[in-house]
Amino acid sequence: MPELPEVETVRRGLAPVMEGEVISEALVNRPDLRWPFPEGMAARLTGQRVLALRRRSKYILADLSGGETLLIHLGMSGRMLVSGDPLGRFVHDHPAPEKHDHVVLNMGSGARITFNDPRRFGAMDLMETGAEAGHKLLSGLGPEPLGNTFDGPYLAERLAGRRTPIKAALLDQRVVAGLGNIYVCEALFRGGIHPARLCKRIGRARIEALVPIIRQVLEEAIAAGGSSLKDFRQADGELGYFQHNFDVYGREGLPCRTPDCGAVVARIVQSGRSSFYCPQCQR
């Protein structure tokens, strides 16, 4: 599933062709994805100007001129691809319709945004603009890891005394929003912390030091266009490239990249998810 850097990369790719533009026609080709689409979604989107594109955790939010906000979740295999941009930022011609093109937004500029989702684990919804904090998918989310409210003291206080493995704690969306398996593995490697170590057994200074590390990993991933492992594509159809910079994720049995370490990357399963780490560098 796309994590924060992949979703932010898509948002940034969509912004030039959506913000300030009118949705001249919205086509909804099925009644649902993971959940049913809101009633009359095509009619409610058609004719609306996109005022702003935002991101909350792993969701894209499009604020519309009519006072509603479109929520978009990519799910496991969802892609939002742009074609036909008249300003030349996206040179792709409109492709022939595909089987899994579930929602198509034709913009007044001539650009087209196609939501393609073969596995149909994605979602779209409409809500009143400004009411997202009460939405069932957004309520209870913790602070954004790239935002000002996510800092060392906050993280140390949230994790103090918890008998939870640090990996699980950082994946808890109530603690911090948007982190996923890949980037937590990478951040813990850089922080030198074993993914199974209990939060209560990690000193406050080490936990606080994780905050700038998490920010750095996410920012590097965004700059690289995210990570393409299976289905992820940027809005222009290109792959992300951060997977080439992984230190531990997916590298089980390969040498640790820390100079003179000598160990190999190991893998354990935590709550059904693979955790990759260096047994020498991470304690």
Q: Hey, which residues are catalytic here?
A: 2-3, 58, 273
- Residue 37 contacts residue 117 (beta carbons within 8 Å): no
Dihedral of CA atoms 34, 40, 46, 49 in degrees, nearest 10, equals -70
The residue among 262, 240, 265, 260 whose CA lies nearest residue 250 is 265
Burial 61-94, CB ≥16 within 10 A → b, else e: bbbbeeebbbbbbbbbbbbbbbbbbeeeebeeee
How far is residue 126's CA from residue 72's CA, in Å, rounded to a whole number?
9
CA dihedral sign of residues 40, 41, 46, 48: positive
Structure tokens at 248: 């531990």
